Structure 1
Amino acid sequence: MKRKLETTELIFKVISYTLLTMFAIGCLYPFLYAIASSISGRRAVEYSEVVLFPKEIQFEAFGQMFTNNMFWNAYSNTLFITFYGTIWSLGYSILGAYALSKKRLLFRKTFNFFLVFTMWFSAGIVPQYLNYLNTKAAFNAVGIMDDKWLVIIAMGMAAMNIILLRNAFEGVPSEIEEAAIVDGATEFQVLSKVYIPMSKSTIATVALFFGISRWNGYFWARQMISNSNEHPLMVFIRLTLEQYTDPEVMSGWNQAYASDSVIYALIVCSIVPILVIYPFIQKYFAKGTNVGGVKE
């Protein structure tokens, strides 16, 4: 009986490790292929000679990219949207989660129900688009047109992130809050001095979610911003892919490299910042998700 159990366990481990290895390879290969193609010669890329390792190594694609002003403009726009968009969304989410974590809030259960309801049922893309149009119309009314703030403000909050923060706030002992109130702390001071410091791991996790979402944002930025000088990096990459139908985007590229290696170089540079930041906040990730995802 014991040997049968050990054999079953061994088979389970072999299957598990095999599946996990295949999954890891499936996740890593596209990125490794993009790196190899970005430093390979044009002919090798066009004739699909690049499989995993680069062929005819050269760095002309990166040279073309780094000397293109439109690339740096798109990169700065993405940094702007990611930084301020994360702060905006995180701030509103913290305020909303703090309010929903209070049992004394009037209609608290109703608000929580509608919050979760939006995760179960989506209204569809049309209401979202109308919401963005209303936001754009409001900006246009005050003279702000084709601005990055359109995307930052319109992409406000996410129900899942609010729930994570709410659950983390609910885990803060009420005795600590009561002690702070006795010492004369205001509601805002209780939030900033008690709840936020005690929920740093969850806040860091939610900030990562928002940051990645803003960094990778394409669709709404493409719909709401028509001025090419305000386009973020993902929109710029997409327009570069459409080189033959968008000569304005391709005017700054060396045409010998515009259709292949430069595309992969752009993809690599769009991923690097996330890879650089993630290790520094990885220690908060699992803890923050567990603390915020489990309600006591």
Structure 2
Amino acid sequence: MKELTPKKRKSDEKIFDAVVNSLAAIILVVVLYPLLYIVSASFSDPALVLNGEVLLLPKQITFEAYKNVFQNAQIWNGYGNTIVYTLVGTAINLIMTTLAAYPLSRPDMPGRGVIMFFVTLTMFFSGGLIPSYLLVKNLGMVDTMWALVIPGAIATYNLIVMRTYFQSNIPWEIQEAAHIDGCSNWKLLTHVILPLSKPILAVMVLFYAVGHWNSYFNALIYIRSKDMYPLQLVLREVLMVSQADSFDSNVGLESKVLLAESMKYVVIIISSLPVLVMYPFVQKHFVKGVMIGSLKG
């Protein structure tokens, strides 16, 4: 096989870098353009948006859609509910997943292979919607916050990722040394394992928090009181009402249609903004945790 000269190798590397950078730029444009379009459309005259005249930058800036959305008291109530559900639910998820993943990562745990088999089985088979509802109802959790945070306390995929991280990145010798020094299992978890697991903990926080923030289907099933609606369900109600009003031929048909069009973009922005703000703070740990936790082991 002919060996490449240093000059030829350098030329090939430049071509490779150029191809990779070009592909990355294309992907960046594909990902960013819809986001920029939604932001521009939310500030633009809805008539221009419907006519396809808004392509990138906003035209004839207006805040009428934002005014209508934020004047709705249910929006703020939904924000408060979702923040509570996300904080409480993520805390429960993190505690339960850690307490399940760490024992299953230890080679001295008897029967862990059988347990992992049944845990993995739940990724492919479930009881279904009706049995799940009957279970939640019999536990007295319908129309309570617990119906949204308890049934999904542990996600099987996240459990497997965290267990793999513990197995791959925390040497068993460290744990044995801690036991020899008189460290109990609880102290070993809190003083040794968790401080070494910040990347995977950040990943779990992001996964679970985003899941709770975007969730609306469970609330649609289990929550009856509108005062307990999460943000996503409130925005769904607001959007449906605005669209229904747009068909009211008695009052400003055209203006209501245009307002409903703008509100669609506004609700997308206000429901996505907290997650977009949170992500940069955990990005470093997120990338490291996903790569190590899912590829090793």
TM-score band w.r.t. shorter chain? 0.7 to 0.9
Query: How do residues 53-64 of structure 1 correspond to structure 2 at under 5 angstroms?
Result: 53-64=57-68
Identity %: 33
1:195 and 2:209 matched: no
Correspondence for 2:260: 259
Aligned-partner Cα distance in 2 for 1:183–1:8: 55
- Secondary structure, aligned partner of 1:154: coil
Which residue among 161, 164, 168 is the counterpart of 1:167?
A: 164
1:246–1:185 CA distance, 2 compared to 1 (3 A): farther
Aligned-partner Cα distance in 2 for 1:168–1:60: 49
Which residue among 108, 122, 125 is the counterpart of 1:123?
A: 125
Measured after TM superposition, the shift of residue 109 of structure 1 is 1.2
1:256–1:244 CA distance, 2 compared to 1 (3 A): closer
Aligned residues: CA RMSD? 2.6
Q: Which has the larger radius of gyration?
A: 2
TM (norm. structure 2) is: 0.84
Correspondence for 1:145: 142
Aligned-partner Cα distance in 1 for 2:156–2:142: 28
Moved more, 273-282 or 236-245: 236-245
Query: How do residues 1-296 of structure 1 correspond to structure 2 at under 5 angstroms?
Result: 12-119=16-123, 122-123=124-125, 127-140=127-140, 144-170=141-167, 171-243=169-241, 255=256, 258-296=259-297
Residues 242 and 256, structure 2, Cα contact 8 Å, conserved in 1: no
Aligned-partner Cα distance in 2 for 1:287–1:145: 39
Residues 242 and 260, structure 2, Cα contact 8 Å, conserved in 1: no
Measured after TM superposition, the shift of residue 101 of structure 1 is 0.8
Moved more, 273-282 or 218-227: 218-227
Residues 42 and 263, structure 2, Cα contact 8 Å, conserved in 1: yes
Paired letter, 1:274: V
1:145–1:167 CA distance, 2 compared to 1 (3 A): closer
Moved more, 215-224 or 128-137: 128-137
Measured after TM superposition, the shift of residue 288 of structure 1 is 1.2
Aligned-partner Cα distance in 1 for 2:19–2:51: 36
Corresponding residue pairs, total: 283
Residues 61 and 257, structure 1, Cα contact 8 Å, conserved in 2: no
Measured after TM superposition, the shift of residue 99 of structure 1 is 1.3
Correspondence for 2:248: none
1:177–1:5 CA distance, 2 compared to 1 (3 A): closer
TM (norm. structure 1) is: 0.84
